[in-house]
Amino acid sequence: MKITIGPQAREILKGINQIYQSIIIRSDYLYTKFVDSEVGNTKKGAGNIIVEYKLQPGDIDVPQEFGINNIMDFLGVINTFDSDTLEMHAEGNTIRMTDKRKKFTYYTQTTSALPVKATAGDVLYEQGTPIISFHLTEAERDSIRKDLSILKGVDSLTLVNSESGLKIVAENTVTSNNTDIVIDPQYVTVSDDSFQFPNVDIFDLIVDDNYKVTVKNCTHKNKNIKICKLESMKLTGLVYTLVSVED
């Protein structure tokens, strides 16, 4: 049974690998989430980063879903083959790869422990109240990433909308040093508010692109939950969902 994984799908998988290394390969969507070692301690919202990519025609065609334990290992094997003559076929729990000069057998993983799409969060988001919305260009994202790269010991990163405008506040809670990075995109706000990113490396984790960023205020089981979605403006169907649970 022949398998097709197109070049754009491979690029998306490379980006997803920065969020989480294991994934289910399907023909309709790719879905996974970041699992962080800080989960369970005092760091708010740690681990609450989910990425979803609704596959476009020609991206991936597989006869049945299978699990990959290490995305970059899988893509690394594929990249050793001649792309013009590569053929992949599913055979039980293996994938047989061949080109004009060699063959390789890659063993897949069970899908039982891998994350599958849940819809409860999407429903909660749709019912939420928008508080911040703006477009983040790739150039602006790169500028923020460059600014953050020279800061040491950042352990809190917050998007703040205030009278002075929209800004990223990077904080070192040990030294109490704060750094404000003002961003000046075209944006719409409903109220003065803020959103704490669940991971301080988020601007490194998202793939290079322009994004529509929307933060909504939601209530779930008597808790205030802020959900931020970063929707790609170039790669249709690519969405990062970030969740911040407030005390």
CATH 3.70.10.10 range(s) for the chain read: 2-107
Instruction: Report the C-alpha gap between 97 and 29 in whole angstroms.
Output: 23
pLDDT at 30 over 90: yes
State pLDDT tens for residues 149-183.
888 788 889 998 877 778 899 988 776 677 888 88
At residue 21 the predicted structure's pLDDT band, cuts being 50, 70 and 90, is: confident
Global pTM reads 0.87
State pLDDT tens for residues 202-234.
898 888 899 999 999 998 888 889 999 999 999
Instruction: Report the C-alpha gap between 38 and 103 in whole angstroms.
Output: 41
Q: For domain 120-245, which architecture applies? A: Roll (3.10)
State pLDDT tens for residues 50-78.
899 999 998 999 999 999 999 999 999 99
**CATH number for the domain whose boundaries are 2-107:** 3.70.10.10
More reliable by pLDDT, 110 or 18:
110
Using CA atoms in the order 193, 232, 24, 21, what is the torsion angle rounded to 10 degrees? Answer: -70
State pLDDT tens for residues 82-133.
989 999 999 999 999 999 999 999 999 999 888 888 888 889 999 999 999 8
Residue 185 contacts residue 154 (beta carbons within 8 Å):
no
Can you give the pLDDT at residue 36? 53
More reliable by pLDDT, 200 or 216:
216
Is the C-alpha dihedral spanning 109, 114, 118, 124 positive or negative? negative
CATH 3.10.150.10 range(s) for the chain read: 120-245
Can you give the pLDDT at residue 187? 67
Instruction: Report the C-alpha gap between 231 and 235 in whole angstroms.
Output: 9
Instruction: Report the C-alpha gap between 206 and 162 in whole angstroms.
Output: 25
